[in-house]
Amino acid sequence: MSTLALPLGLTPPVLLAPMAGITDLPTRTLVARFGAGLVVSEMIASHELLSKSPGTREKAELGIGVEGTSVQIAGREAAPMAEAARMIADQGARIIDINMGCPAKKVTQGLSGSALMKTPDHALRLIEAVVNAVDVPVTLKTRLGWDDEMLNAPIIAKRAEAAGIQMITIHGRTRCQFYKGHANWRAIARVKEAVHVPVIANGDITSTAAARMALAHSKADGVMIGRGAQGKPWLLAEVAHTLYGTPAPVIPQGAAFGDMVQDHYDEIQRFYDPKLGPRVARKHLGWYMDTCETPPDLRRALLTCSDPAEVRNLIAQAMFYTPAQVAA
């Protein structure tokens, strides 16, 4: 397959999805180290950004200025969205992504995220405001529609392109599906037919085989991987190698796998405060053990331990197993 030139020349077209509470800076850094065309920050609401000027901590979390990183913002009003975009662009953001796909009730009840699909005219005012506020590329992430009666992604995508959006990522579900059922990759093809900018397929892409099928069904220009990369930070690089001929990642085995997990754990502890760090790390440790043959008692001990020093000892034992190979 040919390699698509994404905004700013980012290749290959295999992207890491933004996932709240998961794709923090330590995780994005690890995935990018294996290889990815683009990693996207966790979504941040425009009013949060504007409540105070981001300092070093906030800038680090967003990855402002980090090569190969897009900063995703959400909101419901044009002026604050434009101001937030201007703020992060002035601080060095390379790409800004607008969230119109989050299905969480706390987001949609605030008329943000995928709720904007119910009001396309209003959504376009937000898009135009952000695009006109900055000189950096602006992209859009959304879904097929609000529900099966409102599959308006192709119309919104076409209008977004006319407003200056440079890339569109479509999660192959409606908002009302949340993450249930299966992503409808074929429906993404209707969006691809409606626009000329790159279209990225998202949803249920958990392996190279799934990525290949998603591209075939959607006719998209690339894929975005989210939950499939949990516990397998090399997955994006593996998909890119198989589909686009990039260098093959060295998938860590045995002691090397344990060392990678240990390093990720340590980065999480350094990044967060002592109270939050262990809680954030626990879910990543669980996903790592999902790829291993870790004995149940050892898994239980690791996930219930609250002492970082003891966790490190347990990691050395629990992760000394061969991770499952990524499905071809």
Q: What's the alpha-carbon Rg for the chain, to the nearest Å? A: 20
DSSP E strands in 7-134: the ranges are 14-16, 38-40, 44-45, 69-74, 95-100
**Closest C-alpha to 224, from 250, 195, 238, 204:** 204
Q: Residue 8: what pLDDT?
A: 59
Q: How many CA atoms lie within 13 A of 196 on its CB side?
A: 3
**pLDDT of 93 over the 80 cut:** yes
Res. 317 pLDDT band, cuts 50 70 90: confident
Q: What pLDDT band is residue 328 in, cutting at 50, 70 and 90?
A: very low
Report the pLDDT value the prediction gives residue 253, as an integer from 0 to 100.
Answer: 86
Mean pLDDT of 224-246: 96
The pLDDT score that the predictor gives to residue 139 is 97
pTM above 0.95, yes or no: no
Q: Is 176 a catalytic residue?
A: no
Pairing of strands 95-100, 14-16: unpaired
Residue 134 has pLDDT above 90, yes or no: yes
Q: What is the pLDDT of residue 55?
A: 65
Q: What is the pLDDT of residue 15?
A: 97
Q: What is the pLDDT of residues 246-273, one digit of tens each?
A: 999 999 988 888 899 999 999 999 999 8
Residue 3 has pLDDT above 80, yes or no: no
Which homologous superfamily does the CATH classification assign to the domain defined by 7-244?
Aldolase class I (3.20.20.70)
* Residue 141, helix vs strand vs coil: strand
* 20 labelled ligand-binding: yes
Q: Where are the domains of the chain?
A: 7-244, 254-318
18 in a known ligand binding site: yes
- The closest alpha carbon to 36, from 58, 18, 62, 57, belongs to 18
DSSP string, 24-42: -HHHHHHHHHH--SEEEPP
Is residue 269 annotated as involved in ligand binding?
A: no
Confidence of residue 321 (pLDDT cuts 50, 70, 90): low
Q: What gap in Å lies between CA 237 and CA 228, rounded to an integer?
A: 12
What confidence score (pLDDT) does residue 54 get? 62
Average model confidence (pLDDT) across the chain: 90
